[in-house]
Amino acid sequence: MPWLSSAFGIFLMRQFFLSLPKELEESGLIDGANRWQVFSRIVLPLAKPALATLAIFTLLGSWNDLVWPLIAINNDHAFTLQLGLANFQGTRRTEWSLLMAGNVVATLPLILFFLIAQKQFVATMTLSGLKADPAGSVTWTDPAT
């Protein structure tokens, strides 16, 4: 729950919503939709790539977190995977083959999640440099200018 809202997430979504043309919302209101219908039927479907990107970054941040679970969890049997891997290293001897196998197991769900959400992630990065002109055609703009 602490990771559902963050400064990065608020900034990312704010920037995405500011990039949407106001004409989309106005056209929905002219067609007779209320604010909630405009949000749920027009704006939210357009926000799917940004939400997927935010989900990837939030998952990566919470999955790899070591400090918060170390503070919050007192029971050795309830350790997260990262805490278990950190405690797996011995003071005098470390089984590197087992530790690396544990790292692969810890990384595999993240790789699978990224492969599933890759289409939305790439769509967000692609649309960040596109700009629609008043005629409706989409052109590439250089972000540096």
Please write the tens of the pLDDT for every residue from 22-49: 888 888 889 888 999 999 998 998 888 8
Cβ-in-10-Å burial (0-12, 13-18, 19+) of 36 comes to: exposed
pTM of the model: 0.64
Q: What is the pLDDT of residues 9-19, one digit of tens each?
A: 899 899 989 98
Q: Break the chain into its structural domains and give their ranges.
A: 7-140
Q: Is the pLDDT of residue 82 over 80?
A: yes
- Pairing mode, strands 138-140 and 130-132: antiparallel
Residue range 7-140 forms a domain whose CATH class is mainly alpha
Structure tokens at 95: 């089984």
